[in-house]
C-alpha cells in the first residue's frame, strides 16, 4: 500500500512537471491565437500610429518576429464587437500580410481589434472576406512603435549620409541644388497620410466613428477651367464610370481616382482594401475630347446606401504643372 502511494505521488509530480513545461512552452510561443494564421518568417509587417489628424506608417524591415511574439503573448478577454464604438484616437496598428491574406491589429487604450482579410476568387472578380474580433488587454504599443520609428528614421538618415558621401566624391567643389529638397524629404518622411483611412481596420472603425475617415478639406467642383465630369454610370457591385470632357486645356493627363462619401455636410475618402490592388494608368485627354474612366468598386468593399462622388485628378501636360481635381456625385440606394 505504501509502495502504491509513493508511485502515485511520483506520477503526480511527473504530471505536474510535464504540465509546467507545457505551460512554459505555451507562454514562450504566445498565450493567444491572434496571429495563429500568420507565417512569421515570411509575412511583411507595417506599424502605424494615428493621432486623430494623420496616420504615420512604418515598413518594418527587420526583427518582425519580436513584434509577432509581443502581440502573441498578450492576455486577452473577448468582448462584444459593438464596443468598437468606444475606440478613439490616438490608436496604434500592426499589419501582418502576404499577397493573399492579412491580419490587422488596432490598439487603443485597452481595446484591441483584430481583423482578418482573405482574398476569395469568385470568378468574375476577387472578393475580400473580413472577420473581426474585439478584446480587452494591456499593451504598451507606444513603446513598440517608438522603437521602430527610431530605427526607421536612423536607417533613412544613414542612407542619406551614404548618398551625400558618394556625391562628395564627385562634386567636391559644387553645391548640390537639391540638398534642401532632400533634407525636407527625409524630415517629413515618406509614409504620412491625412486622416485615419490608412489605419489598420479602418473600414470597420469608420462605420462607428467618422474620426477615422480622411476628411476632404478642399472644395472640388464638377467643372474647372473647361475640364468637367459630365456623367456617371453605376454598377453597384462592380464599377463606377465617369465621363470627363476637356474643353479648356490643350492636353491634360488623368492620374488619380478615388471615391468619397458624404456624411452630414462633409465629404470623406473611403478606405481602400489593401488586398485589392488596382493600378490606374495615367491617360492623356486632348482638347475637345471626352472619355470614360472606370473606378473598380472592389477597392472599397460593398457600398452602403448614401451619397457619394467620384473624384478624378488631372494635370496639364506642360512644365511645372499643378494638380487639379473635379468630381461627379452619385447615389447608392
Query: Are 220 and 313 found together in one domain?
Result: yes
Q: Do 171 and 236 share a structural domain?
A: no
Same domain, 209 and 69: yes
Q: Based on the domain organization, do 274 and 208 belong to the same domain?
A: no
Tell which of 213, 243, 264 closes a domain.
213
Provide the domain count of the chain. Answer: 2
Per-residue confidence (pLDDT) for residue 277, from 0 to 100: 65
- Strand residue runs (E) in the chain: 44-50, 54-60, 77-79, 91-97, 101-108, 111-121, 126-136, 192-194, 214-215, 223-224, 227-235, 239-246, 251-263, 266-269, 283-286, 289-296, 306-316, 323-332
d(CA 28, CA 34): 15
DSSP string, 251-262: EEEEEEEEEEEE
Q: Determine, yes or no, domain membership for 24.
A: no
The CATH number of whichever domain residue 263 belongs to comes to: 2.20.130
Query: 179 near 163, Cβ under 8 Å?
Result: no
- What is the extent of the structural domain holding 256? 216-332
Are residues 184 and 274 both part of a single domain?
A: no
Q: Are residues 36 and 128 in the same domain?
A: yes
Other CB atoms closer than 10 Å to residue 102's CB: what's the count? 24
In a domain, 23, yes or no: no
pLDDT score for 192: 87
On whether both 223 and 126 belong to a single domain, the answer is: no
184 within some domain = yes
191 and 141 within one domain: yes
Per-residue pLDDT of the chain (333 residues; tens, 9 = 90+): 556 566 666 767 766 766 665 554 444 444 788 998 888 777 789 999 999 999 999 988 777 888 999 999 999 999 999 999 999 999 999 999 876 788 999 999 999 999 998 877 655 556 778 899 999 999 999 999 998 887 766 655 555 555 555 444 443 444 444 444 433 333 333 588 889 988 999 989 998 998 999 999 899 999 988 999 988 888 766 788 899 999 988 888 888 888 999 999 999 999 887 666 676 778 888 888 999 888 888 788 778 899 999 999 998 877 777 889 999 999 988
Q: Single out the residue in 175, 193, 213 at which a domain terminates.
A: 213
Q: Are residues 200 and 220 in the same domain?
A: no
For residue 239, tell me if it sits in a domain. Answer: yes
Q: Final residue of a domain: which of 179, 213, 247? A: 213
Residue 69 and residue 187 in one domain = yes
**Residue 189: its pLDDT value, please?**
38
> Does 8 fall in a domain?
no
Task: Give the burial class of 117: count Cβ atoms within 10 A of its Cβ; 0-12 exposed, 13-18 middle, 19 or more buried.
Answer: buried
Query: What secondary structure letter does DSSP report for 270?
Result: P
Residue 198 within any structural domain of the chain: yes
Q: Is 180 in the same domain as 55?
A: yes
Inside any domain, residue 49: yes
Q: Confirm whether 43 is domain-assigned.
A: yes
Residues 222, 275 within the same domain: yes
Amino acid at each position: 500500500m505504501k509502495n502504491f502511494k509513493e508511485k502515485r505521488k511520483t506520477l503526480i509530480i511527473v504530471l505536474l512537471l510535464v504540465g509546467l513545461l507545457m505551460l512554459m512552452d505555451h507562454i514562450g510561443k504566445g498565450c493567444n491565437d491572434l496571429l495563429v494564421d500568420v507565417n512569421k518568417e515570411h509575412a511583411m509587417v507595417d506599424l502605424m500610429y494615428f493621432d486623430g489628424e494623420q496616420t504615420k506608417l512604418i515598413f518594418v524591415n527587420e526583427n518582425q518576429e519580436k513584434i509577432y511574439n509581443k502581440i502573441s503573448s498578450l492576455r486577452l478577454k473577448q468582448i462584444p464587437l459593438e464596443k468598437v464604438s468606444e475606440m478613439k484616437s490616438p490608436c496604434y496598428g500592426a499589419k501582418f500580410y502576404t499577397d493573399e491574406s492579412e491580419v490587422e491589429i488596432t490598439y487603443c487604450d485597452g481595446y484591441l481589434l483584430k481583423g482578418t482579410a482573405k482574398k476569395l476568387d469568385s470568378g468574375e472578380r476577387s472578393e475580400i472576406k473580413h472577420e473581426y474580433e474585439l478584446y480587452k488587454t494591456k499593451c504598451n504599443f507606444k513603446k513598440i512603435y517608438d522603437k521602430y520609428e527610431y530605427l526607421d528614421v536612423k536607417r533613412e538618415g544613414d542612407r542619406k549620409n551614404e548618398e551625400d558621401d558618394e556625391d562628395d566624391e564627385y562634386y567636391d567643389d559644387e553645391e548640390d541644388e537639391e540638398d534642401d529638397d532632400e533634407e525636407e524629404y527625409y524630415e517629413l518622411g515618406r509614409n504620412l497620410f491625412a486622416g485615419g483611412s490608412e489605419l489598420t481596420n479602418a473600414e470597420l472603425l469608420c462605420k462607428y466613428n467618422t474620426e477615422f475617415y480622411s476628411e476632404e478639406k478642399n472644395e472640388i467642383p464638377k467643372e474647372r477651367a473647361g475640364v468637367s465630369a459630365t456623367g456617371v454610370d453605376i454598377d453597384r457591385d462592380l464599377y463606377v464610370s465617369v465621363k470627363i470632357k476637356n474643353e479648356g486645356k490643350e492636353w491634360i493627363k488623368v492620374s488619380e481616382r478615388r471615391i468619397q462619401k458624404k456624411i452630414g455636410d462633409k465629404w470623406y475618402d473611403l478606405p481602400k482594401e489593401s488586398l485589392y490592388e488596382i493600378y490606374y494608368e495615367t491617360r492623356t485627354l486632348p482638347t475637345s475630347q471626352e472619355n470614360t474612366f472606370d473606378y473598380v468598386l472592389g477597392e472599397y468593399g460593398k457600398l452602403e446606401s448614401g451619397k457619394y462622388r467620384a473624384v478624378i485628378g488631372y494635370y496639364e501636360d506642360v512644365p511645372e504643372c499643378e494638380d487639379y481635381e473635379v468630381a461627379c456625385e452619385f447615389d447608392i440606394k
